[in-house]
């Protein structure tokens, strides 16, 4: 597929620049980048901040079960804190915590360290706080603010890589919800809406490459928050037309929950048939950027983590609680 091939090439360029410490303005070019920034500034004026800057306080212990609690930390931007919802129980962090507790049959201690408006460069401060809890698993929602600010994709990916590595070194499993499809945001007008869609997916693919290489796993939000959000904006977006509604947050949380459980060994991993599921990382990343709820995780082939085209990865399509291998 031509689109996937382009996304794969862009992901490789961005990830390579991130690894080498290069900047690289953007995979879309300086002209498109400048137009996008101008459009995003206009969109921000339209969107405003009707909900304030914080989501509802949701730290605490969830699940009335016996045993030693599992510790879950939530990091990232406004979507990680549930900006726009009024009740803690409707935030993605609490939805994931309650779901994890029910599956593990253990209580879950939740610490939310995300911040509205945060870009990938601001994750380091959140990690400093999160690792103090010695988390079993960390969930990160990030990427949108990297698109609508002047953060070069390679810089964003480099910060995300450091985040995942630090969390893994602290003993936590890591699941990253990649950059959502900002092409569905109505205040961003055409013709630049298609630009944001392309850029969002290229960044999501590069995030996947970096996260898997650092030992985490990703869940693609691009397509998940795409068609249904575009078709039913009144139900999936909140009043500001930018942040998700209660239903939108729930869809994101339940897309991530199976991957969180699988990372902790609480949910069986699918067993791909011979030749299915296993892909070079760049191809898996490009495919995931276009497939709703798709998880990409590191794997080995014949005992080797890398092949002739880079690191091996396994791509799983998870829908409605089912885990289907790639076909």
Domain ranges of the chain: 2-325
CA distance 327 to 317: 9
CA distance 69 to 52: 32
Q: Is the pTM of this model over 0.85?
A: no
Dig out the tokens for 302 from the structure. 């014949």
56-76 burial code (b ≥16 CB/10 A, e <16): bebbeebbeeeeebbbbbbbb
Per-block mean pLDDT, blocks of 10 residues, the chain (327 long)? 55 58 51 57 49 75 95 94 86 96 97 93 97 98 82 89 97 93 56 65 86 91 54 44 69 90 85 54 69 70 60 62 37
pLDDT of 177 reads 93
pLDDT of 48 reads 46
Backbone φ and ψ for 121, nearest 5 degrees, come out as -65, -20
The 8-class DSSP code of residue 99 comes to H
**Which CATH number fits the domain 2-325, given the four candidates 3.10.180.10, 3.30.465.10, 3.40.50.1110, 3.40.50.2300?**
3.40.50.1110
Q: Cβ(298)–Cβ(267) under 8 Å?
A: no
- Catalytic residue numbers read 78, 240, 243
pLDDT of 144 reads 83
Nearest to 82 by CA among 39, 43, 105, 51: 51
pLDDT of 47 reads 44
**277: helix, strand or coil:** coil
Nearest to 61 by CA among 107, 129, 113: 107
Q: What pairs with residue 73 in β-bridges? A: 111, 138
pLDDT of 25 reads 43
**14: helix, strand or coil:** helix
pLDDT of 239 reads 43
* Cis peptide leading into residue 191 (ω within 30°): yes
Dig out the tokens for 297 from the structure. 């995780």
């Amino acid at each position: 597929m031509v689109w996937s091939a382009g996304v794969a090439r862009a992901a490789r360029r961005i990830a390579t620049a991130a690894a080498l410490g290069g900047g690289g303005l953007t995979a879309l070019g300086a002209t498109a980048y400048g137009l996008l920034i101008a459009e995003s500034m206009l969109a921000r004026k339209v969107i405003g901040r009707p909900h304030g800057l914080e989501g509802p306080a949701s730290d605490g212990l969830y699940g009335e079960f016996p045993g030693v609690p599992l510790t879950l930390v939530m990091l990232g931007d406004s979507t990680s804190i549930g900006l726009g919802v009024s009740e803690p129980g409707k935030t993605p962090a609490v939805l994931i915590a309650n779901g994890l507790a029910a599956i593990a049959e253990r209580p879950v201690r939740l610490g939310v360290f995300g911040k509205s408006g945060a870009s990938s460069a601001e994750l380091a401060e959140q990690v400093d706080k999160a690792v103090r809890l010695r988390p079993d698993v960390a969930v990160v929602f990030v990427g949108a603010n990297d698109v609508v600010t002047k953060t070069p994709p390679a810089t964003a990916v480099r910060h995300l890589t450091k985040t995942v590595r630090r969390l893994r070194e602290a003993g936590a499993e890591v699941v990253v919800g990649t950059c959502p499809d900002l092409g569905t945001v109505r205040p961003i007008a055409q013709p630049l809406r298609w630009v944001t869609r392309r850029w969002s997916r290229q960044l999501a693919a590069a995030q996947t490459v970096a996260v898997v290489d650092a030992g985490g796993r990703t869940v693609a939000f691009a397509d998940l928050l795409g068609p249904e959000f575009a078709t039913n904006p009144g139900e999936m977006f909140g009043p500001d037309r930018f942040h998700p509604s209660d239903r939108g947050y729930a869809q994101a949380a339940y897309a991530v929950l199976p991957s969180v459980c699988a990372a902790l060994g609480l949910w069986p991993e699918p067993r791909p048939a011979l030749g299915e599921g296993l892909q070079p990382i760049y191809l898996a990343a490009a495919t995931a950027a276009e497939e709703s709820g798709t998880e990409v995780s590191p794997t080995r082939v014949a005992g080797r983590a890398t092949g002739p085209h880079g690191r091996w990865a396994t791509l799983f399509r998870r829908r409605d609680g089912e885990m289907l291998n790639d076909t």
